[in-house]
Amino acid sequence: MAALFYGQELSSALMLGTAQYPSPEILRDAVLAAQPGVLTVSLRRESAGERAGQAFWSLVQELGVPVLPNTAGCHTVREAVTTAHMAREVFGTDWIKLEVIGELDTLQPDVFGLVEAARILTEEGFKVFPYTTEDLVVAERLLAAGCEVLMPWGAPIGSGKGLNNLFGLRAMRAHFPSVPLVVDAGIGVPSHAAQALELGYDAVLINTAVAKAGDPVAMARAFGLAVQAGTLARQADPMEARDMAAPSTPVAGKAFLG
């Protein structure tokens, strides 16, 4: 059964970012190729350049894909909360991807500020999608603050390194079997996305890997297929890995010469 994100089932396990594309036309074609379940949009990106911002928002609306605004680039609780309120007005949704960045080189979340901001926003009626680490204690705090979804990073934003901490991601999935989980950040190629779905994650969020590809439209299509493959593989109950070989051809009834 597909996970519900605050009561809503997504049409695809792919969440696609809308920043850094070479042109609006390529963004539109990439979205059509990938068929994502959600588009993430930044208030800062939408507002930049006044008319350009309005044109961008019109394009997103025309695509007809549910929107998840984010607080990208926020470094304090106050900044994140203020940006979330502005996003709710602009985009007309109480969904918010919450980012509170604590370290500039890795863009690692400030988990202390994240929990505080999540508590404030959930109390104010927001449905919060927190960008966090794979730390289980932080995850518990976010759930206690009212979050119903967790978005641990795979690797630093824009790094393309994939799933850096498989043990931590597996532990989070095992520890929170009924919580919708999204791998957010660091995914570089479609196989990383498929791997996340095979681990039992409910969705992945991709931006840089598509927008900065040599052919963003082809890469978007590849990611759309990868999340389908990963989901189907998980549902098919994959075989367990073994330390020793096991014959794939049965030996029962095989003739032996004396």
Cβ-in-10-Å burial (0-12, 13-18, 19+) of 245 comes to exposed
Q: What is the pLDDT of residue 249?
A: 73
Annotated binding site: 158, 185-186, 207-208
- Span 95-110, average pLDDT: 92
Phi, psi (rounded to 5 degrees) for 230: -65, -40
Which is more confidently placed, 225 or 54?
Answer: 225
Q: What angle do CA 241, 247, 253 make, to 5 degrees?
A: 145
- Span 48-66, average pLDDT: 76
Catalytic, 127? Answer no
Instruction: Report yes or no on 159 lying in a domain.
Output: yes
Question: What length does the chain have?
Answer: 258
Q: Residue 67: which of 5, 148, 1, 3 has the closest Cα?
A: 5
Annotated binding site for 1-deoxy-D-xylulose 5-phosphate: 158, 185-186, 207-208
Q: What is the pLDDT of residue 241?
A: 83
Q: What is the pLDDT of residue 20?
A: 92
Q: How confident is the model at residue 43 (pLDDT cuts 50, 70, 90)?
A: confident
In this structure, what CATH number is given to the domain that contains residue 142? 3.20.20.70
d(CA 199, CA 202) in angstroms, rounded, equals 9
d(CA 92, CA 202) in angstroms, rounded, equals 25
pLDDT digits (tens, 9 = 90+) for 142-165: 999 999 999 999 999 999 999 999
Instruction: Report yes or no on 245 lying in a domain.
Output: no
Tokens 């695509």 correspond to what residue?
63
Lowest mean pLDDT among 66-75, 76-85, 249-258: 249-258
Q: What is the pLDDT of residue 49?
A: 46
Q: Which of 97, 127, 212, 254 is catalytic?
A: 97
- The pLDDT of residue 98 is above 70: yes
Pairing between β-strand 14-17 and β-strand 38-42 as defined by DSSP bridges: parallel
Inter-residue contact 196 to 183 (CB < 8 Å):
yes
Lowest mean pLDDT among 37-51, 71-85, 102-116: 37-51
Number of separate domains in the chain: 1
Q: What is the pLDDT of residue 159?
A: 92
C-alpha distance from residue 245 to each of 114, 236, 238, 241, 249 (Å): 46, 22, 17, 10, 12
Instruction: Report yes or no on 243 lying in a domain.
Output: no
d(CA 152, CA 156) in angstroms, rounded, equals 11
Q: What is the pLDDT of residue 48?
A: 46
Q: What is the pLDDT of residue 245?
A: 86
d(CA 162, CA 191) in angstroms, rounded, equals 9
Which is more confidently placed, 202 or 90?
Answer: 202
d(CA 51, CA 47) in angstroms, rounded, equals 8
Instruction: Report yes or no on 229 lying in a domain.
Output: yes
Highest mean pLDDT among 37-46, 105-114, 174-183, 238-247: 174-183
Average pLDDT of the chain? Answer: 91
Tokens 């926020």 correspond to what residue?
74
Q: How confident is the model at residue 106 (pLDDT cuts 50, 70, 90)?
A: confident
- The pLDDT of residue 47 is above 60: no
| Alpha carbon 223 to its chain's center | 12
Instruction: Report yes or no on 126 lying in a domain.
Output: yes
Query: pTM to 2 decimals?
Result: 0.89
d(CA 82, CA 96) in angstroms, rounded, equals 12
Query: How much of the chain, in percent, has pLDDT values that exceed 90?
Result: 77
**Which residues are 41's β-sheet partners?**
69
Instruction: Report yes or no on 34 lying in a domain.
Output: yes
Q: What is the pLDDT of residue 52?
A: 53
Q: How confident is the model at residue 53 (pLDDT cuts 50, 70, 90)?
A: low
Q: Which domain holds residue 136?
A: 9-236
Instruction: Report yes or no on 76 lying in a domain.
Output: yes
C-alpha distance from residue 232 to each of 9, 12, 13, 194, 227 (Å): 17, 12, 11, 10, 8
Instruction: Report yes or no on 68 lying in a domain.
Output: yes
